[in-house]
Structures are given as structure tokens and as C-alpha cells.
Amino acid sequence: MTDIVVMETSKGTIEIELNRGMAPVTVKNFVQYVNDGFFNGLCFHRVIKRFMIQGGGFTPIGEHKETRDTIKIESRNGLKNVKGSIAMARTSDPNSASSQFFINTADNANLDYPSFDGHGYTVFGKVISGMIVVDEIEGASTGTKMTHRGPMQDWPKDEVCINKVSMKEA
């Protein structure tokens, strides 16, 4: 069975095929967030041209949404941070990923295990439809947004909302 996520954004729809076989913990975690409706109403809050677009943690007004516990990193799974792949965002703690994800808009081999910090970033799927939407989000003009956590860089000046995320029916 293939896990496909449909992400309806304010810029259009992105379909993502998840790789449960190579990243079982990460996919289980992501699918649970999808099934809980967690991503609905959040935004892409970090956009860096020729690098990635990141979402899954903040509302358009800059409020951080509370998450479940963090998960164990699976960056040694052989999947690569290539253009169109989806990976988990994390802090400097390799086992700190929770709900935030990013879609690579370039080949980012520096994020592959062992990466610059010795840990890498867990890739768990790839965009199979809607890369033009990803490219449009990547092209957004960005700036600094004041949030309750302080200023955040690379925030799109015009909101890019995640309206609804769901599992595609087989």
C-alpha cells in the first residue's frame, strides 16, 4: 500500500508519496499529524530560495502550535535531500523532529547523513504532483516576522497557508 498525502495550499495542491519502508517512524508520525488535522490552517513559515520551503509548526499570525513528543532520527535510511523530497526539520538535537517538515527546492546533499553536523535530516517521501506549486511558494518574497518566540527570518510576506492535508484514498 502506498501512502500519498494531499496538501491543499493557498497556492495550489501538492501530492506527496511517503516512504514507509525506509522511514517507518517518521511516516507513522507524519500520518498521525495528517489524520489529526494538525496541519490544517498552518502556514509555510520559512522559505529560502534554492534551498527549501518549511511548514508544519506555525499559524499565519506566528503562533507556534503544540506538538506531540519528538521522534528518533532516521537519516541513515539512504534517502537523499534532492529537489522535491520532503524531510523533517529539527533542532541541533538529532532526535528533536516533531511536526515541522521541509520540501527541498534544490539538491541539498549537505543535509544527507552524515551532513555538516554528523546526523543528517530524515527524508521520508517525495513530491509526485504539484512541484509547480512548490516552486511558486519558493518564489515568495520574504522578510522578518515578529512572533511570540521572537523575530523569525525568511517568513513569506504574503501568507502561504496550508488549508487542508489529508491521505489520498486508494
DSSP string, 57-94: SB-TTSPBPP----B---GGGS----TTEEEE---SST
Query: Sorting pLDDT into bands at 50, 70 and 90, what band is 2?
Result: confident
Q: Quick one: CA dihedral 156, 139, 154, 110, positive or negative?
A: positive
- Distances, alpha carbon 169 to alpha carbons 3, 31, 124, 146, in Å: 9, 13, 19, 39
Range of the domain at 41: 3-167
Mean pLDDT taken over the chain: 97
Question: Residue 166 in contact with residue 33, Cβ under 8 Å?
Answer: no
Give the count of beta carbons closer than 10 Å to the beta carbon of residue 50.
Answer: 10
pLDDT tens figures, 79-137 = 999 999 999 999 999 999 999 999 999 999 999 999 999 999 999 999 999 999 999 99
Q: What is the CATH number of the domain that holds 140?
A: 2.40.100.10
State the DSSP H helix or E strand holding residue 43, giving kind and residue range, or none if neither: strand 42-48
State the DSSP H helix or E strand holding residue 138, giving kind and residue range, or none if neither: helix 131-138
Q: How many domains does the chain have?
A: 1
Query: In angstroms, rounded to a whole number, what is the distance separating the alpha carbons of residues 168 and 143?
Result: 34
Query: Sorting pLDDT into bands at 50, 70 and 90, what band is 152?
Result: very high
